[in-house]
Amino acid sequence: MTGQPAPPRYQMVNVHNGYVIIEKEVGGHAARAYFSTEPVPPKEEYREGSRIWKYGGMAQSFQFDILDRETGTVTPFREMLGLMYYGCARPGTDLRRLGELAHEDRISIYVALAYEAPDGSPRQMPIEKLSILNRAFNERLRSAEKKILIVPDCFGLYNELSHGEIMIDFGLTAMEEEA
Amino acid sequence: MKLREIAEKLELKPLTKDLYDKDVTGVYISDMVSDVIANAHAGSLLVTAQIHNNVIAAANLVDVAAIIVAQGKTPTEDVVKMADKAELAVFATPLSRWQVATRLYEVGLR
């Protein structure tokens, strides 16, 4: 016995740094996002079917897989856009109220948001993957009785929130406080 | 090392309620939320110049012991309230991130 703590079961692997590129519909209110490892997104407007899209912003982010050391299984999380903390949700929203309730039991709720599917339809993070993600993050905790609960986007947040509310690195070049 | 001892030695300005009996086991310096999520360890001090509420969200997710906001920046009242609720201590200092890092090394954090 060496007295060394056991290595964690889960490990974040295959981490790729990149950018979340936001596009907005010209003449509409739709927005969508995709991950790119290229720092220079297309800035020109382009037509896709009956809709025209234009560049709407970008943020630094990363993609990763989770390795389960016990089984050797690597689970990719490439479809995950980001996490949103309940405390960043607007007061009075379902997420905020649910988060406040869970917080009483030292549970911090995060919502996992996924990129759209290739056909443009909204996508949910699979529960099986969120289960792994929950175990991986909870394994890292040290504070007594604290728990992290990452849930799928049952709140329809993808369609209504500003991408700036997601835990991605928006506006890193403008870290100054706004006047 | 206790958070309180570090705060006193570096003359950090506490912004949150008294949560300073936590043990600190390391330091992580970053302004990127994604970097903090991927690499910061529980029990570490996070030194940053970011004051966006997503820093609190990331720090809570990985269970850092406290946040030191460097460069003389001050988070808004809402951000401090969020940190209080998450039982996450936040300090402010006029020191640069580099100066904070060297001072932390001097007081014994490795």
Residues on chain A touching B45 (C-beta within 8 angstroms): none
The rounded distance, in Å, linking the Cα atoms of B51 and B76 is: 8
Nearest chain B residue to A134 by CA distance is B61
In the prediction, which pLDDT does A60 show?
A: 84
Question: Which residue segment(s) compose the domain that B69 sits in?
Answer: 3-106
Task: Say if CB A91 and CB A106 are below 8 A apart.
Answer: no
> Which pLDDT tens digit goes with each residue over A3-55?
666 789 999 999 998 888 888 888 887 778 888 888 777 778 899 888 898 98
The rounded distance, in Å, linking the Cα atoms of B93 and B91 is: 7
Domain range summary for chain A, segments of one domain joined by +: 10-170
Contact of A61 with chain B, judged by CB distance below 8 Å, is answered with: yes
Contact of A141 with chain B, judged by CB distance below 8 Å, is answered with: yes
The rounded distance, in Å, linking the Cα atoms of B86 and A103 is: 8
pTM of the model: 0.89
CATH number at residue B82: 3.40.1390.20
In the prediction, which pLDDT does B31 show?
A: 92
Angular region, A67: left φ>0, alpha ψ -120 to 50, beta rest: beta
ipTM of the assembly? 0.93
Question: How many domains does chain B divide into?
Answer: 1
Residue of B38, B52, B82 with shortest CB distance to A64: B38
**Three-state DSSP class for B104?**
helix
Smallest CA-to-CA distance from B24 within A137, A92, A143, A123 is with A143
Q: Is the pLDDT of residue A116 over 80?
A: yes
Residue of A148, A169, A175 with shortest CB distance to B34: A169
